[in-house]
Chain A
Amino acid sequence: GIQVEQSPPDLILQEGANSTLRCNFSDSVNNLQWFHQNPWGQLINLFYIPSGTKQNGRLSATTVATERYSLLYISSSQTTDSGVYFCGSRDDKIIFGKGTRLHILP
């Protein structure tokens, strides 16, 4: 089945910094989503982005399906951005990467 690789696995930044998180896929990308898992464990939808670029406030995402990757950009990081970020690609079942653990220091 499809393999999903996320990088970096861990990221520690000072509040106000920008960051780029990446997902690489071993096979074609379908119905790609980005999630933020907050400290209480809930998976919050960030973007549904099978292709192209979307922006929502300080966050934006780009998926290049032909090259099998997606990027999540976080600008002007805040401490509330801390948590684990997952991407996943879905045909029938969504397959997740292992996540990027982001720590934003005040």
Chain B
Amino acid sequence: GAGVSQTPSNKVTEKGKYVELRCDPISGHTALYWYRQSLGQGPEFLIYFQGTGAADDSGLPNDRFFAVRPEGSVSTLKIQRTERGDSAVYLCASAGTGNTGELFFGEGSRLTVL
């Protein structure tokens, strides 16, 4: 597609539920990133994929968070047993090559855990 697409744009769930957030990167981009942004803060790195593999998952806060990119294109961020502190905007970005080149962000998925 023309840009990075994220769905859903808004998700409200209850504490303890499972959530999936989807990212469709720019066509042909091999690098894909997930970030989380809380109110008043800068984006916080979660995980980075190069192709199908997670090149760096050091930002995932705990084992309730998991992300996949099985075919090297679309990625899904999965959050188990959601907690109120998981409420944030989850941003996805893609870039054309590994660690060079311009990064493009999607519009984000706003997650609210009640």
Binding site for B on A (CB under 8 A): 30-31, 33, 35, 40-43, 45, 48, 86, 88, 90-99
Partner of A33, one of B42, B59, B91, B103: B103
Among B59, B101, B105, which residue has its beta carbon within 8 angstroms of that of A35? B105
Give the shortest distance, in Å, between B35 (CB) and chain A (any CB). Answer: 8
15 A–B pairs (Cβ distance < 8 Å), ordered by A: A31-B100, A33-B103, A35-B105, A41-B37, A42-B105, A42-B107, A42-B108, A43-B91, A43-B93, A45-B104, A86-B42, A92-B56, A93-B45, A94-B103, A98-B42
Interface size class of B (residues with CB under 8 A): 20 to 34
A27 to chain B, nearest CB (A): 15
Q: Which 10 pairs of residues, A with B, have the shortest CB-CB distance?
A: A96-B42, A43-B105, A48-B102, A93-B45, A92-B99, A42-B107, A98-B42, A93-B48, A96-B43, A99-B42
Q: How far is the CA of A96 from the CA of B43 in the complex (A)?
A: 7
The residue among A33, A41, A98 with the most chain B CB atoms within 10 A of its own CB is A41
